């Protein structure tokens, strides 16, 4: 069996990170410059830059113009200014589920489905396990261990037909009274809690969250909506301690964690806390195709113990054929190969749309936000007239978008646009502006 080769920049990143954690590199100390370190180690400056950038993304160091890279404290300091997030806003929610045909090899997946029908047909005559098929949960367990630094028992994993379904199950297992979250919220998730009459406690900063009393915190720390911000290591530590001290639970929605264009994905809060007071949620909708509605949650031990006594009361919303097919797809290594290809395609689209938008930006009538991750960009228009013209053009071309009320901002998805069409489409959208 061949060994997996770890990229050089990742090894360098891990080495520096371990020294920061062990306090070999003191707070506020300055790392060697990119050129000096590259020369000393005999490696390229690009390798050093990639390692340093990842450390910046995760909050281990800070990039200071004309000063270099400065080591940050990993310990919470409540006397300092809180983590700043975007101000509370309301927006009209719209989920773009488009996917271009080149992003998924449907022929290969058909062969997997046929294999299940031919060789596992006996299993299809029986009812689904309410928790999800064991074969799929086992593949999910291996996947989150490898990709998200999560160690859990296969029985802690619960499969469902979407995040809303899983949240409803969670409420049945562990009903609570209140929930806090960062604005702008993921509306579809919050709708579940509103239906169950939870007290809604929206906040704008991590600092505000740690000063409130709530039974649940709903957050997407690796890819916040809509700007794709990463919650830094120090602030994640604050949230973990807040949950433990208040006997609260963090619901970690880890959607699209793998989509980061200039750095690789960072570890989960669940992994950082060893699963204590954290409920992890993941989905395959964006990682495969939206029509395959398979999501999952990983329960901490205390909630899992409650679930074991009542799980047979729940019906499984995902067909056994879909579950077994996805399990086989993952088992054969095809899922890993697919996500690698998918990431490359999304990155190509991201670069194409940024290039096209920057050409239009010469008019200086808008800023481009949210470029590091996600399958959309956020356009912030200076003039309300330009904002209205752009949204009108989107409607004329039957393009899907979200608007953010009180601000001249548009959330513009691009996953369903062919790369070859991006430049012309953007030109047409800005033609009358």
Q: What is the pLDDT of residue 60?
A: 92
In this prediction, residue 282 carries a pLDDT of 95
pTM of the predicted structure, to 2 decimals: 0.83
Query: Do residues 59 and 233 touch, judged by C-beta distance below 8 A?
Result: yes
Assess contact for 179 and 214: CB atoms under 8 A: yes
Instruction: Dump strand ranges (E) for 263-304.
Output: 278-283, 295-298
pLDDT of residue 154: 96
At 94 the pLDDT is 33
What is the pLDDT at residue 80? Answer: 43
CA distance 152 to 157: 8
Query: Residue 278 forms beta bridges with which residues?
Result: 250
DSSP 196: T
CA 25 vs CA 14, 52, 64, 339, 419: distances in Å: 13, 14, 17, 36, 44
pLDDT, residue 354, reads 94
* pLDDT at res. 92: 38
Please, what is the Cα angle at 226 between 223 and 228, to 5 degrees?
A: 30
Instruction: For Cα atoms 61, 67, 68, give the angle at the middle one, nearest 5 degrees.
Output: 40
166: enclosing H helix or E strand: helix 163-173
Q: Which domains does the chain have, with CATH numbers?
A: 8-71 (1.10.10.10), 101-336 (3.40.640.10), 347-429 (3.90.1150.10)
Q: What is the CA radius of gyration of the chain?
A: 23
Euclidean distance between CA atoms 268 and 263, whole angstroms = 15
Q: What is the pLDDT of residue 285?
A: 84
Question: What whole-number distance in Å separates Cα of residue 415 and Cα of residue 294?
Answer: 19
Over the chain (433 residues), what is each successive 10-residue block's mean pLDDT?
66 90 90 92 91 90 89 64 42 47 88 94 89 97 94 95 93 94 84 93 93 95 87 94 97 88 85 94 86 92 90 87 96 94 91 94 84 87 92 86 82 89 90 79
- For residues 26 and 40, what is the distance between their CA atoms, to the nearest angstrom? 21
- What does the pLDDT read at residue 291? 81
């Amino acid at each position: 069996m061949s060994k997996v080769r770890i990229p050089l920049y990742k090894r360098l990143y891990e080495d520096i990170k371990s020294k920061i954690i062990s306090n070999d590199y003191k707070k506020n100390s300055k790392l060697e410059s990119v050129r000096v370190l590259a020369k000393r180690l005999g490696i390229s400056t690009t390798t050093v830059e990639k390692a340093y950038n990842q450390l910046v993304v995760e909050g281990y160091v800070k990039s200071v113009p004309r000063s270099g890279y400065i080591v940050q404290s990993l310990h919470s300091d409540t006397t300092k200014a809180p983590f700043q997030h975007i101000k509370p806003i309301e927006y009209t929610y719209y989920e773009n589920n488009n996917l271009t045909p080149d992003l998924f090899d449907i022929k290969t997946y058909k062969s997997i489905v046929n294999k299940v029908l031919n060789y596992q047909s006996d299993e299809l005559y029986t009812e689904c396990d309410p928790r999800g098929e064991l074969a799929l949960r086992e593949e999910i367990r291996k996947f989150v261990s490898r990709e998200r630094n999560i160690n859990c028992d296969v029985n802690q994993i619960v499969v469902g037909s979407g995040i809303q379904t899983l949240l409803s199950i969670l409420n049945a297992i562990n009903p609570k009274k209140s929930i806090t979250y960062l604005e702008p919220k993921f509306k579809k998730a919050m709708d579940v809690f509103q239906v169950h009459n939870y007290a809604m406690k929206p906040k704008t900063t991590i600092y505000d969250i740690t000063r409130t009393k709530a039974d649940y915190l709903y957050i997407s720390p690796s890819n916040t909506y809509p700007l794709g911000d990463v919650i830094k290591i120090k602030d994640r530590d604050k949230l973990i301690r807040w949950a433990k001290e208040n006997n609260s639970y963090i619901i970690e929605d880890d959607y699209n964690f793998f989509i980061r264009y200039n750095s690789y994905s960072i570890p989960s809060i669940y992994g950082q806390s060893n699963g204590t007071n954290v409920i992890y949620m993941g989905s395959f909708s964006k990682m495969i195709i939206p029509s395959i509605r398979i999501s999952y949650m990983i329960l901490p031990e205390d909630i899992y113990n409650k679930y074991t006594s009542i799980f047979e009361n729940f019906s499984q919303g995902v067909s056994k054929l879909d579950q077994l097919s996805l399990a086989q797809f993952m088992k054969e290594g095809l899922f890993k190969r697919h996500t690698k290809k998918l990431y490359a395609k999304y990155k190509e689209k991201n670069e194409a749309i940024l290039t096209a938008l920057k050409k239009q930006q010469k008019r200086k009538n808008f800023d481009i936000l949210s470029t590091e991750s996600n399958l959309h960009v956020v356009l912030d228009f200076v003039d309300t007239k330009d904002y209205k013209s752009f949204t009108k053009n989107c409607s004329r071309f039957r393009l899907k978008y979200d608007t953010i009320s009180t601000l001249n901002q548009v959330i513009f998805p691009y996953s369903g646009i062919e790369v070859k069409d991006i430049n012309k489409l953007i030109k047409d959208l800005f033609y009358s502006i």
